[in-house]
Structure 1
Protein backbone atom coordinates (compact mmCIF):
# COMPACT_ATOMS: atom_id res chain seq x y z
CA UNK A 1 0.00 0.00 0.00
CA UNK A 2 1.59 3.29 -1.02
CA UNK A 3 1.33 6.66 0.63
CA UNK A 4 -1.23 7.90 -1.89
CA UNK A 5 -3.62 5.08 -0.96
CA UNK A 6 -3.18 5.82 2.75
CA UNK A 7 -3.81 9.52 2.12
CA UNK A 8 -6.97 8.75 0.12
CA UNK A 9 -8.35 6.52 2.84
CA UNK A 10 -7.65 9.15 5.49
CA UNK A 11 -9.49 11.80 3.52
CA UNK A 12 -12.40 9.40 2.90
CA UNK A 13 -12.61 8.65 6.63
CA UNK A 14 -12.69 12.36 7.44
CA UNK A 15 -15.48 12.92 4.92
CA UNK A 16 -17.53 10.10 6.44
CA UNK A 17 -17.04 11.48 9.95
CA UNK A 18 -18.06 14.96 8.75
CA UNK A 19 -21.21 13.61 7.09
CA UNK A 20 -22.14 11.63 10.20
CA UNK A 21 -21.56 14.67 12.41
CA UNK A 22 -23.67 16.89 10.14
CA UNK A 23 -26.46 14.33 10.01
CA UNK A 24 -26.39 13.93 13.80
CA UNK A 25 -26.59 17.71 14.15
CA UNK A 26 -29.62 17.82 11.87
CA UNK A 27 -31.24 15.05 13.87
CA UNK A 28 -30.53 16.96 17.08
CA UNK A 29 -32.04 20.17 15.64
CA UNK A 30 -35.02 18.21 14.33
CA UNK A 31 -35.47 16.60 17.74
CA UNK A 32 -35.33 20.02 19.41
CA UNK A 33 -37.91 21.36 16.95
CA UNK A 34 -40.21 18.40 17.57
CA UNK A 35 -39.76 18.77 21.34
CA UNK A 36 -40.67 22.48 21.20
CA UNK A 37 -43.77 21.68 19.16
CA UNK A 38 -44.77 18.99 21.65
CA UNK A 39 -44.32 21.39 24.58
CA UNK A 40 -46.35 24.08 22.78
CA UNK A 41 -49.06 21.52 22.00
CA UNK A 42 -49.20 20.36 25.62
CA UNK A 43 -49.41 23.95 26.91
CA UNK A 44 -52.09 24.80 24.37
CA UNK A 45 -53.93 21.63 25.22
CA UNK A 46 -53.81 22.45 28.94
CA UNK A 47 -55.23 25.97 28.52
CA UNK A 48 -57.91 24.65 26.17
CA UNK A 49 -58.87 21.99 28.71
CA UNK A 50 -59.00 24.64 31.43
CA UNK A 51 -61.25 26.83 29.28
CA UNK A 52 -63.55 23.93 28.47
CA UNK A 53 -63.78 23.04 32.16
CA UNK A 54 -64.65 26.62 33.11
CA UNK A 55 -67.16 26.86 30.28
CA UNK A 56 -68.85 23.59 31.25
CA UNK A 57 -69.18 24.85 34.83
CA UNK A 58 -70.66 28.23 33.86
CA UNK A 59 -73.99 28.87 35.50
CA UNK A 60 -76.32 30.38 32.92
CA UNK A 61 -78.48 31.96 35.66
CA UNK A 62 -81.58 32.06 33.37
CA UNK A 63 -79.50 33.52 30.51
CA UNK A 64 -78.01 31.85 27.43
CA UNK A 65 -74.31 30.97 27.36
CA UNK A 66 -71.92 32.62 24.89
CA UNK A 67 -70.23 30.61 22.15
CA UNK A 68 -67.30 28.50 23.43
CA UNK A 69 -64.83 29.80 20.82
CA UNK A 70 -65.66 33.42 21.64
CA UNK A 71 -65.52 32.71 25.38
CA UNK A 72 -62.19 30.89 25.01
CA UNK A 73 -60.50 33.81 23.26
CA UNK A 74 -61.88 36.23 25.82
CA UNK A 75 -60.59 34.08 28.68
CA UNK A 76 -57.08 33.81 27.23
CA UNK A 77 -56.85 37.58 26.95
CA UNK A 78 -58.36 38.01 30.39
CA UNK A 79 -55.64 35.85 31.97
CA UNK A 80 -52.93 37.77 30.12
CA UNK A 81 -54.31 41.15 31.23
CA UNK A 82 -54.77 39.95 34.81
CA UNK A 83 -51.17 38.80 34.92
CA UNK A 84 -50.01 42.21 33.66
CA UNK A 85 -52.11 44.02 36.26
CA UNK A 86 -54.21 45.77 33.61
CA UNK A 87 -57.51 44.65 35.14
CA UNK A 88 -58.52 44.54 38.78
CA UNK A 89 -61.47 42.17 39.08
CA UNK A 90 -62.79 38.85 37.84
CA UNK A 91 -65.64 40.42 35.89
CA UNK A 92 -65.47 39.69 32.16
CA UNK A 93 -67.74 41.45 29.66
CA UNK A 94 -68.01 39.69 26.33
CA UNK A 95 -69.56 41.08 23.13
CA UNK A 96 -69.95 38.69 20.20
CA UNK A 97 -70.22 40.70 16.99
CA UNK A 98 -70.44 37.54 14.90
CA UNK A 99 -74.10 37.42 15.93
CA UNK A 100 -77.08 39.33 14.59
CA UNK A 101 -77.73 42.66 16.29
CA UNK A 102 -81.28 41.42 16.86
CA UNK A 103 -80.15 39.00 19.58
CA UNK A 104 -78.63 39.57 22.99
CA UNK A 105 -74.91 39.39 22.25
CA UNK A 106 -73.41 41.01 25.35
CA UNK A 107 -72.62 38.92 28.42
CA UNK A 108 -71.32 39.93 31.84
CA UNK A 109 -69.64 37.00 33.56
CA UNK A 110 -68.29 36.73 37.10
CA UNK A 111 -65.31 34.38 36.82
CA UNK A 112 -65.07 34.12 40.62
CA UNK A 113 -68.41 32.34 40.81
CA UNK A 114 -68.51 31.18 37.16
CA UNK A 115 -71.89 32.79 36.77
CA UNK A 116 -73.48 34.80 33.98
CA UNK A 117 -74.66 38.00 35.67
CA UNK A 118 -76.38 39.64 32.73
CA UNK A 119 -77.12 39.35 29.02
CA UNK A 120 -78.15 42.27 26.83
CA UNK A 121 -78.65 43.73 23.40
CA UNK A 122 -75.72 45.88 22.26
CA UNK A 123 -75.29 48.12 19.21
CA UNK A 124 -72.45 48.37 16.73
CA UNK A 125 -71.36 51.41 14.69
CA UNK A 126 -73.51 52.68 11.83
CA UNK A 127 -70.71 52.13 9.30
CA UNK A 128 -69.88 48.71 10.70
CA UNK A 129 -72.93 47.09 9.12
CA UNK A 130 -76.70 46.82 9.17
CA UNK A 131 -78.02 43.82 11.06
CA UNK A 132 -74.60 42.19 11.13
CA UNK A 133 -71.27 43.77 12.00
CA UNK A 134 -68.79 43.35 9.16
CA UNK A 135 -66.50 46.40 8.97
CA UNK A 136 -64.34 47.69 11.82
CA UNK A 137 -61.99 50.60 12.34
CA UNK A 138 -59.78 52.35 14.87
CA UNK A 139 -59.98 55.62 12.91
CA UNK A 140 -61.61 58.74 14.40
CA UNK A 141 -64.90 59.81 12.76
CA UNK A 142 -65.22 56.46 11.02
CA UNK A 143 -68.45 55.67 12.94
CA UNK A 144 -67.28 52.08 13.05
CA UNK A 145 -66.86 49.71 15.96
CA UNK A 146 -63.42 48.63 17.13
CA UNK A 147 -62.73 45.05 18.15
CA UNK A 148 -60.49 43.49 20.78
CA UNK A 149 -59.73 43.92 24.47
CA UNK A 150 -60.58 46.98 26.56
CA UNK A 151 -60.36 47.97 30.20
CA UNK A 152 -63.23 49.97 31.68
CA UNK A 153 -62.46 53.51 32.81
CA UNK A 154 -64.33 56.33 34.55
CA UNK A 155 -68.07 56.65 35.00
CA UNK A 156 -69.52 60.03 34.01
CA UNK A 157 -72.78 61.69 33.03
CA UNK A 158 -72.86 62.84 29.42
CA UNK A 159 -75.39 63.59 26.71
CA UNK A 160 -76.56 59.97 26.90
CA UNK A 161 -76.81 60.02 30.70
CA UNK A 162 -74.65 57.67 32.75
CA UNK A 163 -71.73 56.46 30.62
CA UNK A 164 -68.52 54.48 31.01
CA UNK A 165 -65.22 55.36 29.35
CA UNK A 166 -63.15 52.63 27.71
CA UNK A 167 -59.44 52.27 27.05
CA UNK A 168 -58.50 50.07 24.10
CA UNK A 169 -55.63 47.70 24.82
CA UNK A 170 -54.76 46.54 21.31
CA UNK A 171 -52.34 48.58 19.21
CA UNK A 172 -53.77 49.65 15.88
CA UNK A 173 -57.06 47.92 16.58
CA UNK A 174 -58.77 49.88 19.35
CA UNK A 175 -56.17 52.04 21.11
CA UNK A 176 -57.88 55.21 19.81
CA UNK A 177 -61.03 54.39 21.77
CA UNK A 178 -60.64 57.16 24.35
CA UNK A 179 -59.78 59.79 21.73
CA UNK A 180 -62.77 58.64 19.66
CA UNK A 181 -65.04 58.86 22.74
CA UNK A 182 -66.00 55.20 22.33
CA UNK A 183 -67.91 54.54 25.56
CA UNK A 184 -70.67 52.39 26.96
CA UNK A 185 -73.92 54.33 27.21
CA UNK A 186 -77.66 53.82 26.99
CA UNK A 187 -79.58 54.51 23.80
CA UNK A 188 -83.28 54.31 22.96
CA UNK A 189 -82.47 52.68 19.61
CA UNK A 190 -81.17 49.64 21.49
CA UNK A 191 -84.49 47.97 22.20
CA UNK A 192 -86.85 45.20 21.13
CA UNK A 193 -89.33 47.81 19.91
CA UNK A 194 -86.73 49.32 17.57
CA UNK A 195 -86.01 45.86 16.16
CA UNK A 196 -89.72 45.25 15.65
CA UNK A 197 -90.16 48.53 13.77
CA UNK A 198 -86.94 48.47 11.71
CA UNK A 199 -86.15 44.75 11.39
CA UNK A 200 -82.77 45.38 13.05
CA UNK A 201 -81.26 47.09 16.08
CA UNK A 202 -80.29 50.75 15.90
CA UNK A 203 -76.64 51.69 15.42
CA UNK A 204 -74.24 54.00 17.21
CA UNK A 205 -71.30 56.15 16.13
CA UNK A 206 -68.96 53.36 17.19
CA UNK A 207 -69.94 52.88 20.84
CA UNK A 208 -71.18 49.57 22.26
CA UNK A 209 -74.49 51.18 23.25
CA UNK A 210 -76.91 49.28 25.49
CA UNK A 211 -80.61 49.61 26.39
CA UNK A 212 -81.38 52.80 28.34
CA UNK A 213 -83.24 50.94 31.09
CA UNK A 214 -80.23 48.70 31.78
CA UNK A 215 -77.38 51.18 31.26
CA UNK A 216 -76.94 52.07 34.93
CA UNK A 217 -77.09 48.43 36.02
CA UNK A 218 -74.59 47.30 33.37
CA UNK A 219 -72.16 50.13 34.09
CA UNK A 220 -72.31 49.49 37.83
CA UNK A 221 -71.47 45.83 37.24
CA UNK A 222 -68.44 46.41 34.99
CA UNK A 223 -66.89 49.67 36.19
CA UNK A 224 -63.54 49.72 37.99
CA UNK A 225 -60.93 48.44 35.52
CA UNK A 226 -62.67 45.28 34.37
CA UNK A 227 -62.09 43.44 31.10
CA UNK A 228 -64.26 43.98 28.03
CA UNK A 229 -63.71 41.89 24.91
CA UNK A 230 -65.44 42.61 21.61
CA UNK A 231 -65.18 39.55 19.39
CA UNK A 232 -65.49 38.90 15.68
CA UNK A 233 -63.99 35.97 13.68
CA UNK A 234 -61.96 38.43 11.58
CA UNK A 235 -59.60 39.20 14.49
CA UNK A 236 -57.71 35.93 14.42
CA UNK A 237 -54.46 37.72 15.34
CA UNK A 238 -55.92 38.45 18.75
CA UNK A 239 -56.08 34.72 19.43
CA UNK A 240 -52.44 34.79 20.40
CA UNK A 241 -52.82 38.16 22.19
CA UNK A 242 -49.67 39.35 20.40
CA UNK A 243 -50.79 42.96 20.07
CA UNK A 244 -51.96 43.57 23.62
CA UNK A 245 -50.39 46.75 24.96
CA UNK A 246 -47.84 45.83 27.61
Structure 2
Protein backbone atom coordinates (compact mmCIF):
# COMPACT_ATOMS: atom_id res chain seq x y z
CA UNK A 1 0.00 0.00 0.00
CA UNK A 2 1.03 3.59 -0.49
CA UNK A 3 1.80 5.28 2.77
CA UNK A 4 2.96 8.87 3.14
CA UNK A 5 4.67 10.03 6.36
CA UNK A 6 2.97 12.70 8.40
CA UNK A 7 6.10 14.79 8.28
CA UNK A 8 8.51 15.52 5.44
CA UNK A 9 12.17 16.43 5.28
CA UNK A 10 12.56 19.93 3.78
CA UNK A 11 15.26 19.90 1.10
CA UNK A 12 17.82 22.28 2.48
CA UNK A 13 20.81 22.14 4.79
CA UNK A 14 18.72 24.31 7.11
CA UNK A 15 15.65 22.09 6.70
CA UNK A 16 12.90 21.80 9.28
CA UNK A 17 10.31 19.05 9.66
CA UNK A 18 6.69 20.11 9.30
CA UNK A 19 3.26 18.41 9.24
CA UNK A 20 1.82 17.19 5.96
CA UNK A 21 -1.89 17.17 5.20
CA UNK A 22 -3.60 15.04 2.56
CA UNK A 23 -4.17 18.15 0.46
CA UNK A 24 -0.45 18.91 0.37
CA UNK A 25 0.95 15.48 -0.50
CA UNK A 26 3.89 15.56 -2.94
CA UNK A 27 2.72 15.54 -6.56
CA UNK A 28 4.80 12.43 -7.23
CA UNK A 29 3.06 10.59 -4.41
CA UNK A 30 -0.34 11.40 -5.91
CA UNK A 31 0.74 10.48 -9.44
CA UNK A 32 2.30 7.25 -8.18
CA UNK A 33 -1.22 5.99 -7.60
CA UNK A 34 -1.76 6.18 -11.37
CA UNK A 35 1.29 4.01 -12.12
CA UNK A 36 1.20 0.17 -12.23
CA UNK A 37 0.66 -1.30 -8.79
CA UNK A 38 4.02 -1.93 -7.10
CA UNK A 39 4.52 -5.38 -5.63
CA UNK A 40 7.58 -6.34 -3.59
CA UNK A 41 8.94 -9.74 -4.57
CA UNK A 42 8.48 -12.20 -1.67
CA UNK A 43 11.92 -13.64 -2.47
CA UNK A 44 13.57 -10.20 -2.29
CA UNK A 45 11.76 -9.46 0.98
CA UNK A 46 13.06 -12.76 2.37
CA UNK A 47 16.63 -11.91 1.34
CA UNK A 48 16.31 -8.40 2.78
CA UNK A 49 15.18 -9.71 6.16
CA UNK A 50 18.09 -12.18 6.13
CA UNK A 51 20.46 -9.28 5.38
CA UNK A 52 18.96 -7.30 8.26
CA UNK A 53 19.72 -10.19 10.61
CA UNK A 54 23.19 -10.75 9.13
CA UNK A 55 24.24 -7.11 9.58
CA UNK A 56 22.41 -6.63 12.86
CA UNK A 57 25.41 -5.14 14.68
CA UNK A 58 25.89 -2.44 12.04
CA UNK A 59 22.26 -1.29 12.13
CA UNK A 60 21.32 1.22 14.81
CA UNK A 61 18.30 2.86 13.18
CA UNK A 62 15.72 0.10 13.04
CA UNK A 63 12.40 1.82 12.39
CA UNK A 64 12.73 1.73 8.61
CA UNK A 65 14.45 -0.63 6.17
CA UNK A 66 14.59 0.20 2.46
CA UNK A 67 14.35 -2.50 -0.21
CA UNK A 68 15.13 -1.75 -3.87
CA UNK A 69 13.49 -4.53 -5.87
CA UNK A 70 15.19 -4.30 -9.25
CA UNK A 71 13.16 -7.25 -10.53
CA UNK A 72 10.64 -4.57 -11.56
CA UNK A 73 11.08 -2.06 -14.42
CA UNK A 74 11.92 1.55 -13.69
CA UNK A 75 8.40 2.78 -14.55
CA UNK A 76 7.07 1.06 -11.42
CA UNK A 77 7.64 2.36 -7.86
CA UNK A 78 10.09 -0.36 -6.77
CA UNK A 79 11.92 1.26 -3.85
CA UNK A 80 10.03 0.05 -0.79
CA UNK A 81 10.51 1.78 2.56
CA UNK A 82 9.37 -0.85 5.04
CA UNK A 83 8.11 0.20 8.45
CA UNK A 84 9.61 -2.51 10.65
CA UNK A 85 6.94 -1.99 13.30
CA UNK A 86 3.72 -1.92 11.26
CA UNK A 87 4.95 -3.88 8.25
CA UNK A 88 3.56 -1.24 5.87
CA UNK A 89 5.58 -0.07 2.90
CA UNK A 90 5.95 3.18 0.98
CA UNK A 91 6.81 2.42 -2.67
CA UNK A 92 8.68 5.09 -4.65
CA UNK A 93 10.27 5.44 -8.07
CA UNK A 94 14.05 4.94 -8.12
CA UNK A 95 16.54 4.99 -10.97
CA UNK A 96 19.15 2.33 -11.71
CA UNK A 97 22.59 2.81 -13.22
CA UNK A 98 23.37 3.25 -16.92
CA UNK A 99 25.85 0.40 -16.78
CA UNK A 100 23.15 -1.98 -15.60
CA UNK A 101 20.92 -1.12 -18.56
CA UNK A 102 23.12 -0.04 -21.51
CA UNK A 103 20.25 -0.12 -23.98
CA UNK A 104 17.97 1.92 -21.70
CA UNK A 105 15.26 -0.72 -21.72
CA UNK A 106 13.98 0.33 -18.31
CA UNK A 107 15.09 -2.99 -16.78
CA UNK A 108 18.21 -3.88 -14.77
CA UNK A 109 20.13 -6.36 -16.92
CA UNK A 110 23.01 -6.96 -14.51
CA UNK A 111 24.78 -5.57 -11.45
CA UNK A 112 28.38 -4.47 -11.12
CA UNK A 113 30.67 -3.33 -8.31
CA UNK A 114 33.45 -2.19 -10.66
CA UNK A 115 34.55 1.46 -10.43
CA UNK A 116 33.67 3.30 -13.61
CA UNK A 117 30.97 0.83 -14.61
CA UNK A 118 28.14 3.29 -13.82
CA UNK A 119 26.13 0.23 -12.82
CA UNK A 120 23.88 -0.49 -9.88
CA UNK A 121 25.32 -2.82 -7.24
CA UNK A 122 23.26 -5.42 -5.41
CA UNK A 123 23.68 -6.05 -1.69
CA UNK A 124 23.31 -4.42 1.70
CA UNK A 125 24.10 -0.79 2.41
CA UNK A 126 24.20 1.24 5.61
CA UNK A 127 22.97 4.81 5.25
CA UNK A 128 25.62 7.35 6.18
CA UNK A 129 25.65 11.08 6.76
CA UNK A 130 23.81 13.60 4.64
CA UNK A 131 25.63 16.29 2.67
CA UNK A 132 24.90 18.99 0.12
CA UNK A 133 26.36 18.23 -3.32
CA UNK A 134 25.67 18.85 -6.99
CA UNK A 135 22.25 17.21 -6.63
CA UNK A 136 21.34 19.12 -3.48
CA UNK A 137 20.81 17.39 -0.17
CA UNK A 138 21.99 13.77 -0.50
CA UNK A 139 23.03 10.81 1.67
CA UNK A 140 26.17 8.69 1.54
CA UNK A 141 25.97 4.89 1.44
CA UNK A 142 28.40 2.28 2.75
CA UNK A 143 28.42 -1.13 1.04
CA UNK A 144 28.50 -4.06 3.46
CA UNK A 145 28.80 -7.01 1.06
CA UNK A 146 31.50 -8.20 -1.38
CA UNK A 147 29.22 -7.31 -4.29
CA UNK A 148 28.90 -3.65 -3.23
CA UNK A 149 31.94 -2.92 -1.05
CA UNK A 150 33.18 -0.31 -3.56
CA UNK A 151 30.14 1.92 -2.99
CA UNK A 152 32.08 4.63 -1.16
CA UNK A 153 34.93 4.63 -3.68
CA UNK A 154 32.37 4.86 -6.49
CA UNK A 155 30.46 7.66 -4.71
CA UNK A 156 27.22 5.66 -4.77
CA UNK A 157 24.73 7.79 -2.85
CA UNK A 158 21.06 8.71 -2.48
CA UNK A 159 20.15 11.90 -4.36
CA UNK A 160 17.40 13.65 -6.30
CA UNK A 161 17.33 13.81 -10.11
CA UNK A 162 15.15 15.52 -12.70
CA UNK A 163 14.92 12.30 -14.74
CA UNK A 164 13.03 10.47 -11.99
CA UNK A 165 9.44 11.61 -12.38
CA UNK A 166 6.02 9.93 -12.63
CA UNK A 167 5.23 11.88 -15.81
CA UNK A 168 8.28 10.38 -17.54
CA UNK A 169 7.30 6.90 -16.36
CA UNK A 170 3.79 7.37 -17.75
CA UNK A 171 4.81 8.98 -21.05
CA UNK A 172 7.89 6.92 -21.92
CA UNK A 173 7.31 3.72 -19.99
CA UNK A 174 10.57 4.26 -18.07
CA UNK A 175 12.51 6.89 -16.17
CA UNK A 176 16.10 8.02 -16.67
CA UNK A 177 19.24 6.27 -15.48
CA UNK A 178 21.85 7.28 -12.90
CA UNK A 179 25.58 6.60 -12.73
CA UNK A 180 24.90 3.83 -10.25
CA UNK A 181 23.31 5.93 -7.51
CA UNK A 182 19.84 5.52 -6.03
CA UNK A 183 18.18 8.56 -7.60
CA UNK A 184 14.70 9.79 -6.64
CA UNK A 185 12.28 12.48 -7.72
CA UNK A 186 12.68 15.93 -6.23
CA UNK A 187 9.29 15.49 -4.57
CA UNK A 188 10.25 12.19 -2.90
CA UNK A 189 13.85 12.82 -1.85
CA UNK A 190 12.78 14.60 1.33
CA UNK A 191 10.95 11.67 2.87
CA UNK A 192 13.65 9.23 1.74
CA UNK A 193 16.39 11.23 3.49
CA UNK A 194 14.22 11.75 6.57
CA UNK A 195 13.06 8.16 7.03
CA UNK A 196 16.25 6.45 5.87
CA UNK A 197 18.56 8.16 8.34
CA UNK A 198 22.13 7.27 9.34
CA UNK A 199 22.40 3.69 10.53
CA UNK A 200 19.45 2.43 8.43
CA UNK A 201 19.70 -0.59 6.14
CA UNK A 202 19.11 -0.42 2.39
CA UNK A 203 18.99 -3.72 0.52
CA UNK A 204 19.10 -3.96 -3.29
CA UNK A 205 18.63 -7.06 -5.42
CA UNK A 206 16.52 -8.71 -8.13
CA UNK A 207 14.75 -12.06 -8.20
Shared fold per TM-score greater than 0.5: yes
Q: Distance in 2 between matches of 1:185 and 1:143?
A: 15
CA 1:124/1:61 → structure 2, altered by over 3 Å: closer, same or farther? closer
| Contact 2:38 2:78 survives alignment (8 Å) | no
Deviations 1:69-92 (A, max 9, x none): 11111001101211xx11112221
Aligned to 1:133: 108
Q: 2:201 aligns with which of 212, 227, 235?
A: 227
Aligned to 1:214: 188
Aligned to 2:117: 142
Q: 1:205 aligns with which of 179, 187, 195?
A: 179
Bigger Rg over Cα: 1
Deviation of 1:109 after TM superposition, in Å, equals 0.8
TM-score by length of 2: 0.78
Stretches of structure 2 lacking an aligned partner (at least 5 in a row) = 4-36
Aligned to 1:176: 150
Q: Distance in 2 between matches of 1:166 and 1:231?
A: 16
Q: Indicate the structure whose relative CO is greater, using CA pairs within 8 Å and at least 6 residues apart.
A: 2
Matching of residues 1-80 of structure 1 within 5 Å: 60=1, 64-80=38-54
Stretches of structure 1 lacking an aligned partner (at least 5 in a row) = 1-59, 234-246
Alignment RMSD: 1.5
TM-score by length of 1: 0.66
> Number of residue pairs matched?
170
Deviations 1:92-149 (A, max 9, x none): 1000011111100001011123222x21000000121121001211111111110111
Deviation of 1:160 after TM superposition, in Å, equals 0.3
Superposition misfits of 4+ residues, deviation over 6 angstroms: none
CA 1:61/1:198 → structure 2, altered by over 3 Å: closer, same or farther? closer
Q: 2:132 aligns with which of 157, 161, 166?
A: 157
Higher helix proportion: 1
